[in-house]
Amino acid sequence: MARLPIVTLPDPVLRQVSAAIERVDPDLLKLADDMLETMYAAPGIGLAAIQVGVPRRLLVLDVAGDDEPRQPMTFINPEIVSLGSEKRVYEEGCLSIPDVRVEIERPAALTVRYTDRDGVRRELTADGLLATAIQHEMDHLDGRLIIDFLSRLKRDIVVRKFKKVARG
């Protein structure tokens, strides 16, 4: 396994819509494993392939607490089947936008359909932090970022800050 460089704002690759994955093969599984290693090292609880420069519909998650054993999850071509009606506000961070936290209201529960590492189509019903993390990472697959939930003024301030850092 290898740690991959994480793409950060203002890189335009983060705004790309990711393409569907045609098949589960050893290269895809290696990418998923490398993404997990990268996510754990960052540290984070989720990572979408686009965040390591690969515009494919793949994401990895692990919402286990620090004192719990790791519970890595791999989602290939995830699609939301249903969203719960109850909302939850959570302060989200993003490995592609370091040191920025945004309070976001999202559905507290969802059902997601995806392909697992064995190529099997599955459905998962999730709530709480796992539901939030799935929605956050799926946003990445469609080119959406947490700053899109901010007012235009606040979003522009964050983007300007990251452009200035990128210029060095």
**Residues acting as catalytic residues:** 137
Question: SS3 for 93-136, per residue?
Answer: CCCCCCCCCEEEEEECEEEEEEECCCCCEEEEEEEHHHHHHHHH
Phi, psi for residue 130 in degrees, rounded to 5 = -65, -45
Sheet holding 73-83, edge to edge: 46-48, 58-61, 73-83, 109-115, 121-127
Amino acid at 124: L
Q: Which residues contact 159 (CB under 8 A, 6 or more apart)?
A: 9, 10, 147
Beta strands at 109-115 and 102-107: parallel, antiparallel or unpaired: unpaired
Smallest Cα–Cα separation from 116: which of 29, 54, 13, 55? 29
